[in-house]
Amino acid sequence: MKLADFKVLTFDCYGTLIDWETGIHNGLQALVAKARIATSRDQVLELFAQHESAQEDETPSMPYSQLLSVVYKRLAKMWSVAVTSEEANTFGASVPDWPEFSDSVDALKYLKQHYKLVILSNVDRISFRASNVRLQVVFDGVYTAQDIESYKPNTRNFEYMLRRIKNEFDLEKAAVLHTAQSLFHDHAPANQLGLASAWIDRRHAANGWGATKPPPATPKYDFRFDSMAALVRAHREELRG
């Protein structure tokens, strides 16, 4: 199997192209300070992952910006901190502030020359629009949890994506490579559907799972790269033969 075998790269955005862990950590600093607790960055991210996933299960049709506000309040309650709705909503509206990874823009510009590029994201459309400006590329398709009314790792999100790709580009699943950081949100459900995947292991130098829950088992993947830049290098090497 080669990268050049595929015609569509489908992306998780947050964690893969956008540095959501930095964005989340920065957005929660005021709450952590108010709680006056000694906790590491990864501990904060792991708590966020637990509450985010639980809230997504409870309210699958809630837009992500609103869901983030609820998660903020859940964390505040856990830490016995009083917060206002304004504070929670500020965190909910923070996605546009989350930075892109340093290699994302150049990688996407290169890959756009060789593939159709599609986003499958758990965020809402308005939040993604701001991130799309950061990424500086026109995606061929953008499918969000807001459109589907469920959150990854639900396989219906991937089924929706594959239907849209078939209807809009007349391409089958075999032409699609799902490209993502999260084993929990992306690679595990891709395995269930027999969808090829490339793991962008952004946390290769860190321990633990960060802002995502651990996967229920060890998912398989067809490619693994430490970064988007490494994926681009591998593609260029393939073309050189």
Residues belonging to the active site: 12
Give, in degrees to the nearest 5, the angle at Cα 87 between 82 and 90. 160
Q: Judging by beta carbons within 10 Å of its beta carbon (0-12, 13-18, 19+), is residue 126 exposed, middle or buried?
A: middle
- Give strand pairing partners of 120: 143
β-pairing verdict for 116-121 and 141-144 = parallel
Element (H, E) at 86: helix 85-92
φ and ψ of 229, to 5 deg: -60, -35
Structure tokens at 85: 């709705």
Contact between residue 161 and residue 10 where contact means Cβ atoms under 8 Å apart = yes
Strands of the chain (E only): list them.
8-11, 116-121, 141-144, 176-180, 197-200, 223-225
